[in-house]
Copies of this chain bind each other. A is one copy, B any other.
Amino acid sequence: MARTDRPTLAVVGATGAVGTVMLQILSQHADIWGEIRLIASPRSAGRKLAVRGEEVEVMALSEEAFDGVDVAMFDVPDEISAQWAPVAASKGAVVVDNSAAFRLDPDVPLVVPEVNPHAARVRPRGIVANPNCTTLSMIVAVGALHAEFGLRELVVSSYQAVSGAGRAGIDTLRQQMSLVAGTELGTNPGDVRRAVGDNTGPFPEPVALNVVPWAGSLREDGWSSEEMKVRDESRKILGLPDLKVAVTCVRVPVVTTHSLTVHARFQSEVTVDKAREILATAPGVVLFDNPAAGEFPTPADVVGTDPTWVGRVRRSLDDPAGLEFFVCGDNLRKGAALNTAQIAELVAQEFPPAA
């Protein structure tokens, strides 16, 4: 395929929940791409999807599909990425991968453009990894504060939306909402469980009218894979391999937008005024914090937006070096598709137009 003067982009996993948002973002952002090629599993091949106002036919994933591709954004299951990202890289594409397959690989940078853009330039395997959605929902705000105060410790708890589990998560909550509608709405013991029955979809327990302290798969010593990701990825992105991180991940009945409470301890005393000044001016962050006026972020307001929203900023009562705050971020946008697109755009700057 002939090269245009602009780089060719492939979107792998174009038909999924995150892939759908990727196409929306590509249609909204400044158009820096030549061809945009849509790739998915063979059963989705032939479907037509809209991007940049045009219908584009989906191709089946194959080695040939990467011919002439400069940058490939992947949002597919870990094992598909593990198999196919190296194939795309071997064909000369820079892969921006949103699976967990390569995030902790020392030869793969893990990049958040507002925090560590420089890391995207060094990619021995031709792959750049995109962080987990929960990490991404807080890391831009945390990174801005770290740059000023020097981070020593994080204690975070998540309030994770069901769309973090993909379309199946959304469909499951929708089904459960209709099943509980005729019940006493959780007033009496067991009524939610009776109404929901076995319809728990990708979740281990009912999520409608409930919260579920589990996300991901079981790791050593009772930790969930999601919790380990938040710790390990935060350390790598911030360049703090010994950062103390305590995290508990909890699923809540919200469709889209992850929230987290953050207790952050820094190297020296912090002031709320300075923290607010940093958050108010940091790229990619919106400070929405005036409880006297009822202003703090919630998922209902944040869904569909790009930034990390921060509110409830307080100095820890019993630690002059500590801050408490609450963050919300759309897990399908900044938490997945947007950050992936931002990395791809960062990489695309390395492709000068043909003279």
Quick one: CB contact mask for A179-198 with B, threshold 8 Å, 1 for yes? 01100011111101100000
The answer to whether A326 touches B213 (Cβ under 8 A) is: yes
CB proximity to B under 8 Å, residues A195-251 = 204-206, 209-214, 218, 221-224, 231, 242-246, 248, 250
Instruction: Please give, as numbers and ranges, the residues of chain B lying within 8 Å of A300 by CB-CB distance.
Output: 186, 190, 192-193, 205-206, 209-210
Given the interface contacts A213-B312, A246-B318, does A204 sit within 8 Å of B255 by beta carbon? no
CB distance from A68 to the nearest CB of B (A): 35
The answer to whether B299 touches A211 (Cβ under 8 A) is: yes
CB proximity to B under 8 Å, residues A146-190 = 153, 155, 157, 159, 163, 170, 173-174, 177-178, 180-181, 185-190
Binds B, one of A81-89, A103-111, A288-296, A342-350: A288-296
Question: Whose C-beta in chain B lies nearest to the C-beta of A231?
Answer: B317
Quick one: CB contact mask for A85-115 with B, threshold 8 Å, 1 for yes? 0000000000000000000000000000000
The answer to whether A299 touches B261 (Cβ under 8 A) is: no
Instruction: Please give, as numbers and ranges, the residues of chain B lying within 8 Å of A313 by CB-CB distance.
Output: 222
When chains A and B are docked, how far (Å) is the Cα of A214 from the Cα of B291? 8
The answer to whether A303 touches B189 (Cβ under 8 A) is: yes
Given the interface contacts A186-B256, A193-B301, A299-B211, does A261 sit within 8 Å of B289 by beta carbon? no
The answer to whether B317 touches A245 (Cβ under 8 A) is: yes
Instruction: Please give, as numbers and ranges, the residues of chain B lying within 8 Å of A334 by CB-CB distance.
Output: none
When chains A and B are docked, how far (Å) is the Cα of A52 from the Cα of B254? 41
Given the interface contacts A272-B221, A299-B211, does A159 sit within 8 Å of B255 by beta carbon? no
Q: Does A324 sit within 8 A of B, measured CB to CB?
A: yes
The answer to whether B222 touches A289 (Cβ under 8 A) is: yes
When chains A and B are docked, how far (Å) is the Cα of A192 from the Cα of B299? 10
Listed residue (A214, A224, A289) with the most chain B CB atoms within 10 angstroms of its CB = A214
Which of B214, B244, B299 interacts with A296 by CB under 8 Å? B214
Give the B-binding residues of A (Cβ under 8 A). Answer: 153, 155, 157, 159, 163, 170, 173-174, 177-178, 180-181, 185-190, 192-193, 204-206, 209-214, 218, 221-224, 231, 242-246, 248, 250, 252-256, 259, 261, 263, 272, 289, 291-292, 294, 296-301, 303-305, 311-319, 322, 324, 326
Q: What would 15 more interface pairs be, CB under 8 Å, given A190-B303, A218-B291, A221-B315?
A: A177-B177, A186-B254, A186-B300, A190-B300, A192-B300, A204-B294, A205-B294, A209-B254, A209-B300, A210-B254, A210-B298, A213-B296, A213-B297, A248-B312, A252-B253
Q: Which 3 A-B pairs have the closest CB atoms?
A: A189-B304, A186-B255, A157-B157
Can you report 21 A-B residue pairs in the complex whose CB atoms are below 8 A from each other? A159-B159, A159-B250, A170-B185, A173-B185, A186-B254, A188-B304, A189-B304, A209-B254, A209-B255, A210-B254, A210-B299, A211-B252, A213-B312, A222-B291, A223-B314, A244-B319, A245-B317, A245-B318, A248-B312, A248-B324, A250-B259
